Amino acid sequence: MTTDDQARTPTGRRRAAGAHHEPPLNLRRPGWPTFSSEAVPWDPSTEAYGPRTGRAQHRGPYEAAIAPTIADAHVYLSSAASALVAEATAEIARFDGEALGATTSFAALLLRTEASSSSQIEDLTSSAKAIALAELGRNGRANADQIVANVTAMTSALAHAERLDPDAILAMHQALMARHLPKDAGRWRTQQVWIGGSSRSPHNAAYVAPTHPRVPAAIDDLVAFAGRDDIAVLAQAALTHAQFESIHPFPDGNGRTGRALLHAQLRNGGLTRTSIVPVSAGLLSDTARYFAALTIYRSGDIEPIVTEVAEAVFPALANSRQLIADVTSARASWGEQIHARRGASAWGLADLLTTRPVVDTKLTAAELGISTVNAQLAIDRLVDDGVLEQIGHGQRDRVWQAGEVLDAMEGFATRSRQRVH
């Protein structure tokens, strides 16, 4: 069985502007436990349904990983990596301070962009418009629906940030997979999973995760590590993420759940209070390097994954600031376009559009606390003033979009995919 992580071969290197020279990725750091393995019998129950050719390759025992305990493991980083973590931490704190001092909160917008970027790492792509339509219940594009589910998972992660325990992790996965994998959503897996190789068996796979009976204890150990207060939060979140991905506790959705957990840990550790740091957007420019760092982590070298996450902070926040500037500029221009009395619902709708650029009367009424009749009047006002335009030409179940905000979100996505040298 293949899952939604790491199915790539590492190539190339992404580097944030001004980043320091770092040691080779194969440099082993002392003090961190390595993954071991065990021989596991394989029951080829589906062999009769596969081709006869190559059956011998899928018989006999296979090697599955054993996750080491890390609850009390010593975290050693080189001085260069420690300095990078400190610099990235300071940048996050600065960004969080900007968010606290701003008159408008863009947390909801950044959460949506992070959910989209995290999904793109798993090759789930969709336009900002399609995602916004899916949020309104306009279904039809599977990727957009799954990205919306990831928004829900991210929201759940932040809601559980004060209590990072196994139940919180299960709740994140439940929010992510409730619609797309209802039988397994919010439950630890009950079968073997692996990455790469053949779907017929784990033989010759690139990585075989621990057997499913080992998952609960491994997660308990992970949670104990995540609860420590003697490690820099950003480095701790990166290591928790790498350990989680290596345990691979679910049949699907491990990558997205793991990155949601990373955000919950940043919030739990007090590194972010109100803002969202779209780390996935920073990782997206070179996913091969990110996957390679996760692989190397299992050999006991923790520095690559810590470096990847820390370096991702800088382009992610630069991109976020540009997105906020673009949306803020659009909102300022609307102030000159909108012809409505002070206090009219049209102004509240204009503010709503900065984080929800596609609306209908039901959403508008619910968010502004007004009737659907008044919601339609506010929408009509913004249509007449050139802020909104209707999607399509139907007269029933109508939807409107703020094109400038959607363009800003697409710009964010485009910048996220650009490789940084």
- Is 256 annotated as a binding-site member? yes
> Has 189 been labeled as part of a binding site?
no
Mark whether 58 is an active-site residue: no
d(C-alpha 290, C-alpha 300), whole Å: 16
Cα–Cα nearest to 378, from 410, 403, 341: 341
Q: Residue for token digits 């050719």?
A: 53
Helix and strand counts by DSSP (H, E) for the chain: 15, 7
DSSP H helices in 7-124: 79-101, 107-121
**Half-sphere CA count of 145, side-chain side, radius 13 A:** 11
Rounded-to-integer distance, Cα 233 and Cα 77, Å: 14
Q: Would you call 52 exposed, middle or buried from its count of C-beta atoms within 10 A (0-12, 13-18, 19+)? A: exposed
Q: What are phi and psi of 321, to 5 degrees?
A: -65, -40
Is 361 assigned a ligand-binding role in the annotation? no
Cα gap 32→215, rounded to integer Å: 20
Q: Report whether 267 belongs to an annotated binding site.
A: no
Please tell me whether 197 is known to bind a ligand: no
Phi and psi dihedrals of 63, rounded to 5? Answer: -100, 120
How far is CA 296 from its chain centroid? 21
> What's the CA dihedral at 227, 233, 234, 236 to 10 degrees?
-40
Phi, psi for 5 (deg, rounded to 5): -140, 145
3-state SS, residue 107: helix
255 is in an annotated binding site: yes
Find out whether 252 is annotated in a ligand binding site: yes
Query: Which residue's entry shows tokens 């992970």?
Result: 222
Q: Which residue has the tokens 């990078």?
A: 84
The residue behind tokens 């301070």 is: 97
Catalytic residue among 248, 263, 393, 421: 248
Instruction: Output the six-digit token pair for 35.
Output: 């993954």
Sequence-separated (6 or more) residues with CB below 8 Å from residue 97: none
Two tokens at 262?
């990373």
> Hey, which residues are catalytic here?
248
Q: Which residues are annotated as a binding site for ATP?
A: 252-259
Q: Which residues are annotated as a binding site?
A: 252-259
